[in-house]
Structure 1
Amino acid sequence: MELCLEQVSKSFQDNRAVDDVSLRITPGVWGLLGANGAGKTTLMRMIAGILKPDKGRITYDGIRIDSLGEAYRDIFGYLPQEFGFYPEFTVRDYLEYMAALKGLKPGWSRRKIGELLETLTLEEVKNKKIVRLSGGMKRRVGIAQALLNEPEILILDEPTSGLDPGERVRFRNLLSEFAHDRIVLISTHIVPDVEYIAMKNAVMKDGKIIETGTTPELVKRMEGKVFSEKIPARALADYEKKLRIVNLKNEPDGDITIRYLGDRPETEDSVSEEPRLEDLYLWLFPQNTDGRKKEERGTKGGKRR
């Protein structure tokens, strides 16, 4: 079982959204990491067969997916960033409708829908209209439809958007179990969603795959580049001007411990820290660091990771 992308490119007018991407995806959970606008969704849509590459080819077990046609759709599950539904659909109506579109047998699909309603904690809302559900519950309904046909290839675009922390943990555990002998590709900019469950990660930037590897392999590239220091709270603004601060933590004595990235320690009191996958992400996407700092400065009290 192997999904291969060979020199795949896609442009929209003068914008090259995906630029000469080659990737060999084998069974297990894969993370596709990148900032918004990196080209992840366009790449996902080509893998799903919704868009055709301008250049290159995508194959499954050596056969082009556009040649496989219906046979490919039968073994494929896809959760886009936004999925459509009729306003009058209840959760059960929608899943039954999607099961019919996928050509699933009624008896089998009823059992599978019941199983997914329970697994994704949707049983209590199965007769509610989707339009009246919270964002997190709508996302769970989308996840359920992607799993209906027990696909060999499951593609999930920002799957945990709107889920609370407990739901995200349960979802990650579900995917880990599901991916035992299947290909699961998760596109996300939320690093913890793939840090512990992904067998391998690909990092996408400006339409290109710029890094691939297991989480330990990628994290190793940040060794000697992550530091911390305890500073007075009043000095934070000065430190922000000269350091790439990625995390802040309030201390009981009123000081702040900062975690920053750099090629070398910038101050005498800096301590080298064990790197994480998030550190690599913020190193490769420095434009996200400013947003992180603003968000954390708005947090009052408690721990700032």
Structure 2
Amino acid sequence: MELLIDKVSKKFKDKKAVDNISLELMPGVWGLLGANGAGKTTLMRMIAGIMQPTSGQVLYDGVPIQTLGEGYRDVFGFLPQEFGFYPEFTVKDYLAYVAALKGLTERESRRRIRELLERVSLTDVYNKKIARLSGGMKRRVGIAQALLNDPEILILDEPTGGLDPGERVRFRNLLSEFAHDRIVLISTHIVPDVEYIATCHAIIRDGRLLATGTTEELVRLVEGKVWSCTIPARAVPEYESRLQIISLRNENDGSVSIRYLAENPCNDISVPSVPRLEDLYLWLFPQGGVENPKRTSRKKGGIHR
């Protein structure tokens, strides 16, 4: 099983939303990381067959998805950022409607709906109208509809928006189990949602692929660039003005522990800190839009320095 994104680009007037991206997706969980506006949603819509590339193509097991047509949709599940529903639909009615669209028999539909309502903790509200549900519950309904046809390829665009921490943990566990022999691609800018469950990550910025690799491979790109130290509380504004601070923690003695990103330590008391995937994300997408030319060139499996 292979999903190949082959030199795919998408241009809107004079702007390239996706610029010559190539990826080879195999079974497992993939994280698609990037800031808002990076081109993630456009890329996913092309993978879903909803939008046609300006150039390049998407192939499933060597066959263009346009050629596969209905056969591709039969093995595909998609959760967009915003999914539509009729306000009068109950959870049960909506899932039955989507199951019919996906070609499930009535018997299959009942079984899958019952199973998924339990898996995403919606059994107690299955007769409620979707319009009356909380944002997190609506998101869970969207996750359930994407899983109805037990797809071989599952594409999820910002799936955890509105979910509380407990729901996010259950969702990550569900995806890890589901992806055993399937391709799952999760687009997000919430790095912890994919840091520990993704087999591999692809990071894009301004429509271009910056890096691909496992969490372990990618965090090496910021080794020696993550530092920590303890400073007086009164010095925090001055440090914030000249450093990219990742986190601050107030200590009992009135001092503040900071963790920051920099090519070199900012003082003699800073010590190296073990990098995480979120550190790489913040290094590539610095707050305030600060540019660093060393962060922009790309190569499969890493970043040119």
TM-score clears 0.5:
yes
Q: Distance in 2 between matches of 1:166 and 1:288?
A: 31
Shift of 1:118: 0.6
Shift of 1:104: 0.3
- Verify: 1:130 aligned to 2:147, yes or no: no
Q: Does 2:187 align with 1:220?
A: no
State the shift of 1:289 in Å.
Answer: 8.4
Contact 1:78 / 1:154 at 8 angstroms: preserved in 2? yes
Unaligned stretches of 5+ in structure 2? 291-305
Q: 1:215 to 1:221 in 2, by over 3 A?
A: same
Distance in 1 (alpha carbons) for counterparts of 2:42 and 2:61: 22
Distance in 2, Cα, partners of 1:111 & 1:27: 25
Unaligned runs of 5+ in 1: 291-305
Map Cα deviations across residues 12-54 of structure 1 (whole Å, 9 max, x no partner): 1111100000000000000000000000000000000000000
* SS of equivalent to 2:224: coil
Write the letter of the residue equivalent to 1:199: T
Deviations 1:169-212, CA, capped at 9 Å, x for gaps: 00000000000000000000000000000000000100011100
Alignment of 1:34-183 (within 5 A): 34-183=34-183
Counterpart Cα distance in 2 of 1:133 and 1:14? 41
Shift of 1:135: 0.3
SS in 2 for 1:221: helix
Contact 2:33 2:189 in 1 (8 A): yes
Match of 2:222, SS?
coil
Answer yes or no: is the 8 Å Cα contact 1:245–1:289 preserved in 2: no
1:241 positional shift: 1.4
CA shift for structure 1 position 287:
2.8
Q: Post-superposition shift, 1:95?
A: 0.2
Q: How far is 1:254 from its partner? A: 2.0
- Normalized against structure 1, the TM-score is what? 0.94
8 Å contact from structure 2 (residues 201, 213) kept in 1: yes
Is contact 1:282–1:289 with CA below 8 Å preserved after alignment?
A: no
AA aligned opposite 1:213 = G
Aligned equivalent of 1:284:
284
Q: TM-score, normalising length from structure 2?
A: 0.94
Q: How many residues align?
A: 290
TM-superposition CA deviations, 1:61-108 (whole Å, max 9, x none): 000000000000000000000000000000000000000000001101
Matching residue's letter, 1:152 = E
Q: Which amino acid aligns with 1:79?
A: L
Q: Which residue is equivalent to 1:7? A: 7
